[in-house]
């Protein structure tokens, strides 16, 4: 029992998080920046922060993550990091030749009070940013928000590129939120099937799930290009997937270039995917393609065929707000009961949304934003569940409480496949359901007595 000290009794606890269900802002900013083609993320802080953020992403995506750092030492910590950053910008453009440097701050540079826009202006004045190259920046202090906030802040910084001309480009911007590269590919595939011409930003497909070619490329072929980012200001609309990850950028673009936006849930599960497809159909003024209707039918068929295994099963779930909201809705579609729901990211809207989704159900739901895995574990001790859905850190609870674990979200450190196989859309819904059923039926096989052990369940 690795977590044997977790007590069943829940006491009042305000000042401390135990086993947080989140990580720090720059991790999200770094992931978002990798979704721009030819971009080098830059961490304005100490080397230790940058190493941690890179390794967190490397361990999840199983790819080398390139990023540079302002390498603060004692001097920069006292006098500010401007000199380091100016030197850094000069070195990075000379040595690595990226198209863009995407700078995010850290706790240290934020506490000192370094002013990124002012340093960027100085770099321009001193000719440190070559013609045709760009620097963008996002403020990402880790004592606020979470990795989700950092992701959102960097996506919002990408709106700096947008330009509005007199001619619309006929495209729809899709801001996919923090999803896997495989999910971004799947969202683009669904848009293509619907006949919608899109600009996705950020887009890590082809960056963090590319093939092994035998040749190292510091800047892989994928990612949103600068031309595409500029063109977002001429698009006919923006679909922002996820209130926490994507809405800020979409609203900023609307304000800057008058590109109307719609904020939707990330299309995990049947209903959220229906809303996404329906919105795309409306925006493009087309009918839903036969292929998508077929795929939807397959998902409906599979969830109907297997309802007896999922019905009334209790689930505990922890993850990022945009993910968890859509997943809770999918679990309800399956007849399951998400009784314990936690996100580490702050935001009371999260609790409200989960309560709205579960309000007519005949079970009580425990829900907490800015919660942690310690609390989730305590809830499970008080009301056991049939399934836990969490990132890799959930494995300790799953082992102690002997509950099947569906690894889903960020980070997944000890399993493979998330970069290659989507969980968004109808196809992704099939995969999620297959995984859930596999876990529940394996458990049934394991626990059945010899007289009840069936060849065919
Ligand atoms: S010091 Fe702040 S930015 Fe750096 S790793 Fe820690 S929480 Fe993240």
Q: Is 29 in the pocket of ligand 1 (CB under 6 A)?
A: no
In degrees rounded to 5, what are phi and psi of residue 174? -120, 120
Q: How far is the CA of 101 from the centre of ligand 1 (A)?
A: 20
Mean pLDDT for the chain overall: 96
pLDDT band at residue 15 under the 50/70/90 scheme: confident
Kindly report the protein residue whose alpha carbon is nearest to atom 4 of ligand 1. 49
Task: Assign a CATH topology to domain 25-161.
Answer: Rossmann fold (3.40.50)
Whether residue 358 is predicted with pLDDT greater than 90 in this model: the reply is yes
- pLDDT, tens digit, 9 for 90 and up, residues 273-329: 999 999 999 987 888 999 999 999 999 999 999 999 999 999 999 999 999 999 999
Kindly report the protein residue whose alpha carbon is nearest to atom 2 of ligand 1. 107
pLDDT band at residue 29 under the 50/70/90 scheme: very high
Alpha carbon 105 to its chain centroid, in Å, reads 19
Residue whose entry in the numeric block shows the structure tokens 């295994």: 309
Q: How far is the CA of 129 from the centre of ligand 1 (A)?
A: 27
What token pair was written down for 339?
């009784």
| Residue to mutate, 23, 26, 42, 47, ligand 1, most ligand atoms under 8 Å from C-beta | 26
Kindly report the protein residue whose alpha carbon is nearest to atom 8 of ligand 1. 24
Q: Is 106 in the pocket of ligand 1 (CB under 6 A)?
A: yes
Q: How far is the CA of 451 from the centre of ligand 1 (A)?
A: 55
Domains 25-161 and 293-450 share a fold: yes
Domain ranges of the chain: 25-161, 172-289, 293-450
What is the C-alpha separation between 132 and 60, in angstroms, rounded? 33
Kindly report the protein residue whose alpha carbon is nearest to atom 6 of ligand 1. 49
Q: Is 26 in the pocket of ligand 1 (CB under 6 A)?
A: yes
The pLDDT value given to residue 227:
98
Q: Is 49 in the pocket of ligand 1 (CB under 6 A)?
A: yes
Q: How far is the CA of 145 from the centre of ligand 1 (A)?
A: 12
The SS3 of residue 381 is helix
The contacts of residue 1 (CB under 8 Å, 6+ apart) are: 400
Q: How far is the CA of 381 from the centre of ligand 1 (A)?
A: 32
Give the homologous superfamily in CATH for domain 172-289: Nitrogenase molybdenum iron protein domain (3.40.50.1980)
The pLDDT value given to residue 257:
98
Helix (H) / strand (E) containing 349: helix 348-358
- pLDDT, tens digit, 9 for 90 and up, residues 115-124: 999 999 999 9
3-state SS record for 405-453: EEECCCCCCCCCCCCCCCCCHHHHHHHHHHHHHHHHHHHHHHHCCHHHC
CATH architecture of 293-450: 3-Layer(aba) Sandwich (3.40)
Q: Is 24 in the pocket of ligand 1 (CB under 6 A)?
A: yes
The better pLDDT of the pair 159, 13 is held by: 159
In degrees rounded to 5, what are phi and psi of residue 249? -65, -45
Kindly report the protein residue whose alpha carbon is nearest to atom 5 of ligand 1. 49
The answer to whether the pTM exceeds 0.75 is yes
| Residue to mutate, 20, 30, 106, ligand 1, most ligand atoms under 8 Å from C-beta | 106
């Amino acid at each position: 029992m690795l977590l044997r000290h977790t007590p069943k009794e829940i006491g009042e606890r305000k000042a401390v998080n135990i086993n947080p269900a989140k990580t720090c802002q720059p991790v999200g900013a770094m992931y978002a920046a990798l979704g721009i083609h030819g971009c080098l993320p830059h961490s304005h802080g100490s080397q230790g922060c940058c190493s941690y953020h890179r390794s967190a992403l490397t361990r999840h995506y199983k790819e080398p993550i390139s990023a540079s750092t302002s390498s603060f030492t004692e001097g920069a910590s006292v006098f500010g990091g401007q000199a380091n950053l100016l030197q850094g910008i000069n070195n990075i453009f000379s040595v690595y030749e990226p198209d863009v440097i995407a700078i995010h701050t850290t706790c240290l540079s934020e506490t000192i009070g370094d002013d990124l826009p002012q340093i960027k202006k100085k770099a321009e004045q001193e000719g440190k940013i070559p013609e045709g190259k760009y620097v963008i920046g996002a403020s990402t202090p880790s004592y606020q928000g979470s990795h989700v906030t950092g992701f959102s802040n960097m996506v919002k910084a990408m709106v700096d590129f947008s330009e509005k001309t007199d001619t619309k480009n006929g495209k729809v911007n899709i801001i996919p939120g923090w999803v896997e590269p495989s999910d971004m590919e799947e969202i683009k595939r669904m848009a293509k099937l619907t006949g919608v011409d899109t600009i996705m930003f950020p887009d890590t497909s082809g960056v963090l799930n590319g093939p092994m070619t035998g040749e190292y490329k510091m800047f892989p072929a994928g990612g949103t290009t600068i031309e595409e980012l500029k063109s977002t200001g001429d698009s006919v609309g923006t679909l922002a997937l996820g209130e926490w990850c994507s809405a800020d950028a979409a609203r900023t673009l609307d304000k800057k270039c008058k590109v109307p936006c719609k904020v939707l849930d990330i299309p995990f599960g049947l209903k959220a995917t229906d809303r996404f497809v329906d919105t795309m159909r409306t925006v493009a003024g087309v009918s839903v393609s036969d292929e998508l209707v077929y795929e939807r039918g397959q998902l409906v068929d599979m969830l109907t065929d297997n309802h007896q295994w999922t019905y009334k099963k209790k689930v505990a779930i922890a993850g990022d707000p945009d993910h968890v909201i859509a997943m809770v809705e999918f679990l309800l579609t399956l007849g399951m009961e998400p009784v314990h729901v936690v996100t580490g990211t702050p935001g009371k809207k999260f609790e409200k949304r989960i309560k709205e989704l579960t309000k007519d159900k005949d079970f009580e739901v425990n829900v907490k934003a800015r919660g942690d895995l310690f609390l989730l574990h305590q809830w499970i001790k008080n009301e056991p569940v049939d399934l836990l859905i969490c990132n890799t850190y959930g494995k300790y609870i799953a082992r102690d409480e002997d509950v099947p674990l569906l690894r889903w979200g960020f980070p997944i450190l000890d399993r493979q496949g998330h970069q290659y196989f989507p969980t968004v859309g109808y196809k992704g819904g099939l995969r999620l359901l297959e995984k859930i059923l596999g876990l529940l039926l394996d458990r049934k096989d394991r626990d059945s007595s010899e007289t009840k052990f069936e060849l065919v369940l």
